[in-house]
Amino acid sequence: MTDDLLPPIGMLAELTHRCPLQCPYCSNPIELMKADREMDTGSWLDLFDQAADLGVLQVHLSGGEPTLRRDLEEMVSKLSARKVYTNLITAGVGIGEGRIEALAAAGLDHVQLSLQGTNPGTTELIGHYKGGFEKKLETARRVRAAGLPLTINAPIHRHNIEEVPRFIELAQELDAERLEIANVQYSGWALVNRDALMPERAAVERQADIVEEARERLRGVLNIDFVTPDYFAIYPKPCMGGWARDAFVIAPDGGILPCHAARTIPWLEFERFGEFDLAEIWANSSALNAFRGTGWMQEPCRSCERRELDWGGCRCQAMAIAGDAAATDPACMKSPLHARMRQFAEIPHQAESAGFHYRRIGAKPV
Amino acid sequence: MRPERRRAFVTPASRPRLRRHVRLQFDPVRNAWALLSPERVFWPDEVSLDILRRCDGQATMGEMVSALAAEYDADEREVAADVTAFLQEWTDNLLVTL
């Protein structure tokens, strides 16, 4: 237990790692779990009850592709009965007839639909799934027809950064209320594919101007969230709003993680729901307590006036680039490794069409 | 095609209400009122709560201002300016509809 312990507000539930898409920047871990490791319906429902008791107010039902779980409606019903806000995070392909309507009837609050591109070409290049674009548009229409509010999530990288203006138009055409222009976070699969995904600085700067102009022009019409690109930043993001501060991730097998990439920190050990109650794990997990609050910080974070704004940034990025999970996130200009991180972004990329390592179960890249 | 969405502006005749996907509910764990919206939870202070609770799609902004001015024993013009600014911001953030 630490003095920094608050009840969690948000929970990202990775219901499954199965997904029809193979995006090379997937936030799931490199070692994807097969279906036989997923928790059963009863365990998920029990977890949701305990989460609500503990203070969780919002659950993001994610994956992989969460609609591959046939018990999704049951989960939504349970959460809705507990007055927990439910957000479905979907790729929007392969969703059976009547499913969106059934989820709405079960009490679903909101849908976030990912778009890989604004046309079939980009969408198929990234998702590696034929006909994906048309299916996604159809899902968007069904979501709105069911009366559900819609957010479009657009992960941005060099292959679609010039499509940002079209993403903004398309979000409006699809009657979305929110658009996330989310520059790819380079951990997991995205780190493996970093050279093939990294945009050029000039494009990043154009993008920032385009988003700023659109936000002003579309005030009160479309909310645009801009997830800035770490490799071109001067300060890090407050990753997860602080490690195990008010949100956590649950993996398909019930593993409780502070964020979806935390397994890249090799010495952390994670408890699984079922071995212990959620409240016990939230309070006592050594992994959750490893970087909670500010006590773990080294310099320059320890004495930084921003330490409770950005919470030292991303631990997994510190691990990946500095080789030390307790180091300052190298996205920060105060990090001694900031220049090296810049280099990764500035290296000219020859990998224009060069092979992505597509995300696939059992396809762990060497 | 749907009619194009436009930014809405608060007037004394507006009848504001919380959008369908926005919920104001009491959280017994934290002993506080929470406003739930896509991706975000807000913790409105007492004054904000007094305004948000009146956003029922029935009362006009003008009626809300009169009621609040009486309740707080405050100048109606000042209350009107504060409430208008508050509701315009919440409308722009797509949490309240007019």
- The ipTM, to two decimals, is 0.93
A57 CB neighbours in chain B (<8 A) are: 27, 34, 36, 41
Selecting from B38, B41, B92 the residue whose C-beta is nearest the C-beta of A219 gives: B92
* Neighbour tally for A124: CB within 10 Å: 17
Average pLDDT of chain B? 93
The model's pLDDT over A62-72, given as tens digits with 9 standing for 90+, comes to 999 999 999 99
Q: Which residue in A109, A169, A175 has the most chain B C-beta atoms within 10 A of its own C-beta, making it the best mutation to test that interface?
A: A109
- The CA distance from B55 to the nearest CA of chain A, in Å, is 17
pLDDT at A357 over 80: yes
Distance CA A239, CA A305 (A): 17
Domains of chain B: 19-93 (1.10.10.1150)
- Say what the pLDDT of residue A343 is: 86
Question: What's the CA gap between A297 and A310, in Å, rounded?
Answer: 12
Does residue A30 have a pLDDT over 50?
A: yes
Residue A360 confidence (pLDDT): 85
Joined tokens for residue A298: 């080294």
What does the pLDDT look like over B30-60, one tens digit per residue? 999 999 998 899 999 999 999 999 999 999 9
Confidence band of A1 (pLDDT split at 50, 70, 90):
very low
Of A220, A175, A153, A229, nearest to A197 by C-alpha is A229
B61–chain A nearest CA distance, Å: 18
Nearest to A87 by CA among A143, A134, A44: A143
Two tokens, residue A179: 């658009």
List phi, psi (to 5°) of A343: -60, -40
Q: Does the pLDDT at position A352 exceed 60?
A: no
Quote the pLDDT of residue A83: 97
Q: Please indicate whether, in this complex, the C-beta atoms of B38 and A7 are within 8 angstroms of each other.
A: no
Chain B residue with CA closest to A104: the answer is: B21
What is the distance between the alpha carbons of residues A33 and A63, in angstroms, rounded to a whole number? 11
Angle between helix A120-127 and helix A132-145 axes, rounded to 10 deg: 100
Mean pLDDT of chain A: 93
User: Given an 8 Å threshold on Cβ–Cβ distance, is B91 in contact with A220?
Assistant: yes
Task: State the sign of the Cα–Cα–Cα–Cα dihedral A92, A96, A98, A103.
Answer: negative
pLDDT at residue B39, rounded to an integer: 84
* Model confidence at A195: pLDDT above 80: yes
Residue of B nearest to A112 (CA): B38
Considering only CB atoms, A85 lies closest to which of B2, B23, B91, namely B23
Residue A362, chain B, CB below 8 Å: the answer is no
Q: Is the pLDDT assigned to residue A2 strictly greater than 90?
A: no
Percentage of residues in chain B having pLDDT higher than 90 = 90
Nearest alpha-carbon partner for B98 in B2, B3, B18, B4:
B18
Peptide bond into B12 cis (omega under 30): no
